[in-house]
Structure 1
């Protein structure tokens, strides 16, 4: 099977490419990525074929998707703060980009399409845990663009019979996740700061909670979905119901590193939700055998990876 991964040189995409190629059912992985947030080096040592192009480039999409048995659409402009500063760019990349990928899938004969949505779609709905059937209430342009992503996928499933599956990601972390830039996710930002000996920045009091999900677990679930052609005309949370505060994450990092990093509290960020926790009943219905990596194991693996980078060599 040939699998196309949009955003395939990004953090999740490059981890997924490795997992896909470890399965006998997959003989080719094509990463379509414009490298705006991904990196060519993320694919070093793999047999993933990189096509450097935008998901808004119809000709490039058509060429990449020809003969594909599945498309995993991860290509997006990430980050809530980025979307607050430039909502139009987030809309073009995430909403229009998804529509272009789905249209390309139709032109390619209707391969299985998996798209990445986000827990941010729950937004101002404070009920926990987050169930897929509950009211969505996005509070950032990024969240709106991700709601469009999953809604377009579901509509193509209903209208055109396209085999689709939309996962709502919850704070995915792990090796290959970039740090050291303005829009870095919280865990790589914490690890980067701790290893450099500078204070960790927490927006707010640190009691906000997240359902952190290790990228290896996410990659295994998506790969299983690809190889078994798992579909659903409703979104599916891809997380396991954990709820960890940022202050607890700092405690775990202190234990792993053998010293407690300094912490600096600053104002909360516009568009951030206070708490996040998935109900994983629907996920378990589709993937009853999956065993998630614990936060402690995942943090240790991520710290170990960071320590392999020249910037953190002791």
Structure 2
């Protein structure tokens, strides 16, 4: 099976490409990425064909999809704050770009596994978040990801296309960058701790998140592709953990071995207060899934950060048994 990964040079995409390349049942792995947030360096040393280009180019998509037997659609314009700064750009990539991907796949009847987001639950206060809850997006990003999954499932229903839409919950791990204004919370915290800089928490720090290690995520994605799993509604890809950000900061403080200088700042617009996944549907579809614990995943992530040139000269991290 030849697999195309859109957004394949990004954080999750590059991890997935590595996972797919390790599977004997996979032939060629192709990554399509415009490198706006991804990096060719993420695929260095892997047997992956990188094609630089945008999912907003229908002609390119048609030619690239023609090489594949399955598509994993991860390309997106991420970040709630980024979508607040430019809602139209988020819509164009996440909604319109998804339609272009689906059209290319429909023409050749290529199955699609796609990434949505837990942000679609938005203002819904019920915990844990199960897939039958209503959606109440609080940001343009969340709305655009709701459009992503809605189009994917609509194409499945309308054109008998084999599809699967996952709702990701706060994925973290190696290759997730920290060096930009829209960095996710775990790389931002690790970067601050390693550099001895203040650790910024927006709000009181009691907001909770369901963190999911990228290694687990990509194994599920690869299994979904190779086993040709489909489902007519969205599926949460997380395991029901619920961690306050202030506790996350304390765990990372212990792993890094440096005290955290926590600075509370004003809560950000569009941020969800609490997030926790119901994982019953996921475990029903993937009964052999092996969840990586948060302490182990955080330790692996810190170890990866330590391999980057900008952190190599810093004192070694405190050892942690996980």
Q: TM-score, normalised by structure 2?
A: 0.96
**Retained in 1: the 8 A contact 2:193–2:258?**
no
Q: How does 1:1-314 map to 2 (within 5 A)?
A: 1-107=1-107, 109-314=108-313
1:291 CA displacement = 1.3
- Structure 2 counterpart SS, 1:31: strand
1:67 CA displacement = 3.6
**Structure 1, residues 175-222: CA drift from partner, whole Å, max 9, x if none?**
000112100000000001110110111000111000000000000000
**Retained in 1: the 8 A contact 2:152–2:165?**
yes
Aligned residues: 313
Q: Supply the distance in 2 between the matched residues of 1:188 and 1:132 (Cα, whole angstroms).
A: 28
- Structure 2 counterpart SS, 1:132: coil
- Structure 2 counterpart SS, 1:127: coil
Q: Supply the distance in 1 between the matched residues of 2:179 and 2:189 (Cα, whole angstroms).
A: 10
1:92 CA displacement = 0.1
Q: Supply the distance in 2 between the matched residues of 1:138 and 1:21 (Cα, whole angstroms).
A: 35
Q: Supply the distance in 2 between the matched residues of 1:256 and 1:193 (Cα, whole angstroms).
A: 13
Unaligned runs of 5+ residues in structure 2 are 314-322
Q: Supply the distance in 1 between the matched residues of 2:149 and 2:111 (Cα, whole angstroms).
A: 14
CA RMSD of aligned residues (A): 0.6
State the match for 2:319 in structure 1.
none
**Structure 1, residues 218-269: CA drift from partner, whole Å, max 9, x if none?**
0000000011000001000000000001111111111112232111100000
Q: TM-score, normalised by structure 1?
A: 0.99
- Structure 1 counterpart SS, 2:296: helix
Q: Supply the distance in 1 between the matched residues of 2:111 and 2:228 (Cα, whole angstroms).
A: 7
**Retained in 1: the 8 A contact 2:194–2:258?**
no
Q: Supply the distance in 2 between the matched residues of 1:135 and 1:127 (Cα, whole angstroms).
A: 10
Unaligned runs of 5+ residues in structure 1 are none
Q: Supply the distance in 2 between the matched residues of 1:38 and 1:250 (Cα, whole angstroms).
A: 26
- Structure 2 counterpart SS, 1:71: strand
1:110 CA displacement = 1.0
- Structure 2 counterpart SS, 1:50: strand
Q: Supply the distance in 2 between the matched residues of 1:48 and 1:268 (Cα, whole angstroms).
A: 41
1:60 CA displacement = 1.1
- Structure 2 counterpart SS, 1:154: helix
